Amino acid sequence: MRYFRDNSGLPVGRGAVLLAGALLMTWPALYNGYPLLYPDSMTYLGDGRPVARALFLHRFSDYYGERSFIYSLGILPWHWNVTPWPILVLQALLTAFVIWLVVRSILPRRTAMHYLVLVASLSLLTSLSWYVSLIMPDILGPVLCLCIYLLVFARDTLTRAERLTVVLIAWWAITSHATHLILAAGLCVLLALLAFPWRQSMERRLGAIGELAIIVLLAAAAQLALYMYLYGEPSLNGERPPFLMARIIADGPGRWYLEQHCGEEKLAICNHLHNLPDNADDFLWGADGIWQSADEETATRLRQEEIPFVLATLRAYPSQQLSKSANNFWRQLTTFGLGDLGSNGWILEVFDSVFPGGRSRYLQSRQVRNALPFAFFERVQNWTIITSLLVIGAFTRHLWRRRTPRLAGLSMVIVPMVIANAFVTGALSMVEDRFQSRIIWLLPLLAGLFVLEWLACLKRPQK
C-alpha cells in the first residue's frame, strides 16, 4: 500500500481512502439488501457461461445473446451464477480508483480530504451510487469518460502501473456497450480537432489522442474477433435488435414511408403495417411487440433490412426526421430520473435460471417491493444538476483567467460526453431515464472540482 502525508501531518493510506470511497458508493445496494437489477442485468449475467464454454472448451451454441459478450465474460469470474455482490465490489473499486486519479490530478494537495468530500456528496446527491449498485455496464460509460481525460490531459500524473490500469479499464468499458464505442470514437475526433488551437502542446496532445484511438481500435477488433469466433462472421453488434428501425417508425417518418411503399417493396416489416406501434419500447420489448413475437427468419430479415429502410426513409423525409431526432435528443438530455430501476416481473421469471437458490434473498430486497425512495432522490438530483450548471457557468471565467489546463481538459471531455450520450441514445435508440441518468453525475463532479480547486487557490500563498 502506498502512503502519502496530507497537510494535517497524519499518514493516510491511499488504499483505505479508496475503500472508504467505494463503500460510500454502494449505499443503495446495502440499503436495498441486494444489488440493484434491471431486466438486461439477467441477460449479461446469464450469457457469460455459454460464451466461456465456446471460448475455452470449444462447446459452441447456436445463440449467445444480444448484449456485450466481453462484459458478460468480464463479470463471470465475479459471480459464477452464485451471487452478484462481487460484481458490485468490482464496479465500486474501479469507479473509486478512477475518480481518485482524477481528483489527484487536479488537487494534488490534501487529496484524501477533497476526494472523500466529493465522493460523499456525489453518492448522496446524484445517481453515481445508484449506478455503481446496478449490475449493468452503465457505470462504465462515465468511468470511460474519466479514463479518456486521464489518458489525454493528465498522463503526467499517472505512474506506469496506473496508466496501464486506466488503459485496461478504458478498453473494457468500450467493449461493454455499443454506445461506449460510438462515444469514445467520436470523442477521439473531437479532441483531435480541439488540440490544434494549443500549438505549444499540440504534438504531445495528439500523441495521447492517438494512443486513445488505438485503444478504441483494439476494443473494436476484440469484438469483431469474438463474434467471428462464435458466429463465423465479424460484427460489432451481433444479433442486436433493430433499434434504428423502431426509432424511425415510432417517430412517424418510417410509418409514412411504409404506408407509401409497402405495396411495391416486400419488406418483412410490411407484414405489420396494420399494427405498427408509436413507441420504440413497445416495438422492441412489448410482450406482443413486433420484435419479441418475430420468429428467427423474420428477426434476421428485420436486421438485414434495417439500414436500407432507414436510409430510404431519410431520403424521403429528411427535414421531418431531423426535427423528430432533435426533439428526442432534447428530451433525452433533460431526462435523467431513477424510475427505470424499479421492480420488474421478468427478472423474477428468469431469476432461478441465473442464480439458482438465490431467489429468496432477492425477494427480501426493497427493489422487489418498490420501496426504494426514487422520487425523493430524483428531486435531489434535479436540484443538484441545476446548481452544478450554475456553478460551472459562474466558474468558467475563473477557469479561463487562471489557465488551469487540466480542469479545462476535464470540461472538454465531460460536457461533450454528456451531450453526445443524449444524442446517441435519444435520437438513435429511445428516450429513457437510465440512459442519461447513468452519466449525468459527471456534471456535479466537474462543478465540485471547480469549487474545490478555487478554494485551494484561495488558501495558497500569493507569490
Q: What is the mean pLDDT of residues 64-86?
A: 92
Structural contact between residues 388 and 449, judged by C-beta atoms closer than 8 angstroms: no
One-letter amino acid at 145 equals: C
Of 72, 97, 70, 88, nearest to 33 by C-alpha is 88
The C-alpha cell that represents 434 in the structure block = 437510465
pLDDT for position 462: 55
**So where are the chain's domains?**
14-238+335-459, 243-333
Residue 63, classed as helix, strand or coil, is coil
pLDDT, tens digit (0-9, with 9 covering 90-100), for 329-338: 999 999 999 9
Give me the residue label for grid cell 410509418.
255
Compute the distance between CA of residue 365 and CA of residue 386 in angstroms, rounded to an integer.
32
Q: What is the mean pLDDT of residues 282-306?
A: 87
Q: pTM here?
A: 0.92
Check whether 50 has a pLDDT greater than 70.
yes
Residue 352, classed as helix, strand or coil, is helix
Compute the distance between CA of residue 67 and CA of residue 73 in angstroms, rounded to an integer.
11
Compute the distance between CA of residue 229 and CA of residue 263 in angstroms, rounded to an integer.
40
Check whether 460 has a pLDDT greater than 80.
no
Q: What is the mean pLDDT of residues 344-373?
A: 92
H or E stretch at 408: helix 405-422
DSSP assignments along 194-221, one per residue: HTTT-GGGHHHHHHHHHHHHHHHHHHHH
pLDDT for position 292: 86
Most confident of 11-20, 69-78, 190-199, 396-405: 69-78
Give me the residue label for grid cell 430524483.
378
Compute the distance between CA of residue 190 and CA of residue 209 in angstroms, rounded to an integer.
10
Q: Which residues of 286-306 are buried (b: 16+ CB within 10 A; e: fewer)?
A: eeebbbeebeeebbebbbebb
Q: What percent of the chain has pLDDT over 70?
A: 94
Helix, strand, coil tally for the chain in percent (to 5): 75, 0, 25
Check whether 448 has a pLDDT greater than 70.
yes
One-letter amino acid at 289 equals: G
Most confident of 135-144, 196-205, 402-411: 135-144
pLDDT for position 186: 94
Compute the distance between CA of residue 368 and CA of residue 362 in angstroms, rounded to an integer.
7
pLDDT for position 198: 57
Q: Name the pLDDT band for 438 (thresholds 50, 70, 90).
A: very high
pLDDT, tens digit (0-9, with 9 covering 90-100), for 237-263: 777 888 899 999 999 999 999 999 998
Check whether 457 has a pLDDT greater than 90.
no
Structural contact between residues 35 and 135, judged by C-beta atoms closer than 8 angstroms: yes
Give me the residue label for grid cell 427493489.
367
One-letter amino acid at 326 equals: A
The C-alpha cell that represents 39 in the structure block = 431486466
Q: Which of 66-70, 218-222, 267-271 has the lowest mean pLDDT?
A: 66-70
- Alpha carbon 410 to chain centroid distance? 17
Q: Which of 65-69, 101-105, 124-128, 200-204 has the lowest mean pLDDT?
A: 200-204
pLDDT for position 78: 96
Structural contact between residues 149 and 57, judged by C-beta atoms closer than 8 angstroms: no
The C-alpha cell that represents 361 in the structure block = 434473498
- Rg from Cα positions in the chain: 23
DSSP letter assigned to residue 432: -
Helices 433-440 and 318-333, packing angle to 10 deg: 50
pLDDT for position 179: 92
